[in-house]
Structure 1
Amino acid sequence: MNAANIQEQLRAYGPTEEVLRELQEYLLPPFGTGSQAFNSTLPEDMELVRTWQGYLAEAQVAGTFTTLQRHIVQFRFPIRAGISQTDAYRRATLGGKSPEAFAEASGLPLARPDGLQLFLYSSPAGRLPVLVAPERADFVSLVQALCYRNEPHPIPASMGAVFIKGLNNWDRIRQLSQGLHSFSSVDLAAQREQYQDSLILLSEIPYSNVPARDMGLSEADWLRQSRQIRLAHEGAHYFTWRHFGRMHANMYDELIADYAGIRAVEAHFRADWFLRFIGLENHPALQKEGRLRNYLGQPPLSKAARHCLQRILIDAARQLETFDRQLVFSGETDLALRLWAICQHHLLDISAPDGCQHLLHTYRYPKALPYEN
């Protein structure tokens, strides 16, 4: 979709010229290029899985948190304002120095370190490790440690999981360096898959902080489904990152990921669930803690632009539901094909009155080529 097509479809939502420019900057191009083909062979696990299999075996003996503190340097430091700028933290996380030498490395305090759970999750892009924190405060600390360099960054109440990519693992770097005659930053840059980790951090709160009563489920059933939705949601982010090399904090990505998440617990994608999860069940009002508020860009969209975006998302969700209800699920490869097909389309293509037909055509007529890592 070119700029002229984007403008034409945006004008159907009646924005002013200023709002139109805002939305043009916010709306992302599709992940696919139109020339990419779908491969029915699911990708092999990335190298990181072998390392984390070792951590899992070690955790069976030493415990999950003790094992991870031994290998993930951020877990050796507390959450404290300004700690990321200290010499000790920088030398440990950026230079690979042992935390043992630094008094600041007093450990990441958790309320229930013995409650952490570690396992491997099979996503449409291969397996990846999952770390679950049953205590909300512990989840927040883990996110702050790995995503915000141990700084006390505020975490929205609606955030219950996060996909972490490109995390330098000094345990793996040291193993890599032992196999090289000479070792430099050039070597590292060329071999990122050999030392950078991807993983999912997961909490045990209701999905998008939506209460069980709003879903018509018992607390236990809704928590169980929330875990399944989150895993599939984050697995979809892993899919876009691994297949297309990109993921964004944007509602385009969230629609794709919630498609996978909702399908993990329901026979078909449900637009009403998606709209509730992002806070639009009473559109045009946006719920105070609606997840959409976390994805309005920086600086955030104006109120007028947000209202247009809300209408686009409502239309896109309904077209996506119509698309999904015309298909019969046939396993992981089929899910990967659906995600791939959605990723070939701009959000405005999906929200268009014939968005369902665009998606069905791409799904039914993929050009098969071998998968390349």
Structure 2
Amino acid sequence: MTSYATPVTTAAGAAEKAVRQRITTLSRSLRQVTSVAHLQKPRFVDYDSIRDAAGAVHGRKKVILMSGGCSIPTCTMCPFTNYNNHGHGANAEGLRTQVATMLARTDTEPDYTTLALYNDGNFFAPREVLVDVQLDIARQVAATGVRRLVVESLPGFLTAATLSPFVEALGDVQLEVGIGVQSAHRLVRETLVNTRITQRQFESALTVLSDLGVLAKIYLMIKPPFLTDAEAVTDVVDSTAYVADLGVGQVTLCPTRLAPNTVAWWLHQHGHYAAPNLWTVVDAVRGAHDKASVRVACINMRGSDFESLYPDSCPACADDIVAGLVAYSISGDLTELPTGCGCRPPLESVALDEQTILARTRSILDLCEGLA
């Protein structure tokens, strides 16, 4: 496999850097500042069940706060600047009010012990959530009886100095931090996804989390832009093995959806990218299953929650595949997954060849920019 640690020659590194700069410029140019600020209330609240790495199932409340968005919005597929207050800045009092309101339990509310509290970005980035607001939220959560709190952040913000006061303020609540590392392959992660995560940052963050007794929740993408479906399966399987070797027992696989104002959408509009086929998602799950505890991010994968293009197959099997993926994510039982359909495309195992992928990426950018 091509791992995080693959050495890069000077010439190859310069070529990759040049492509990354083009993708970064393109990604930033496609972002749109929200014309009118959204109200300070969570943009998403839902209840479900989630399986942990040990196989236990917990009731979960998932909340996405209305925030000022990610402070490093370079990723090629991330749609969230379309839905938050991107361009309007952080709102400390708004976040405090949203959390206080959301934590007030009602008689009709489903029972839950896990609270997933997301801010469309990096919870521990002080530009996005002020440090005193972080600590206020920790104290509020600690008083609710929640057993586990899940937040998300890029690993560069996960230091002992930042996390220690937060963990202390949480008291007996178990903290879990989601990291969207997306891929173990340097070229895929740092250029095709265009996320600001290096191998050193990621592994350092895992050490910090472990030392503080904080759990790591790892997200891996299924088919980043510029990859084929066959390469996408290889990427997921290799990446799951890498994460497992680092001692993380569970991964969440995220099938890519295409949302406006992203590089993924832009490529699709020019005929050079499609969301992964649902059978590709099934193959990725099957390949990763024996390497770690696997779940799939399946919220409304049939595609009615946002203006997006979702993974799909044919009308005869699509609903059954999604239902099977949801059931598998709770049970961990591969028999929940469908086994075939006449529409299922052939998919042979393929290695990730960095020179081939980089050349393809450069060619696609040239073609699409010529059409723009």
Q: TM-score band (shorter)?
A: under 0.3
Which of the two has greater helix per residue?
1
> Comparing both chains, which one has the higher relative contact order based on Cα–Cα distances under 8 Å and sequence gaps of 6 or more?
1
TM-score when normalising by structure 2:
0.26
Larger Rg: 1
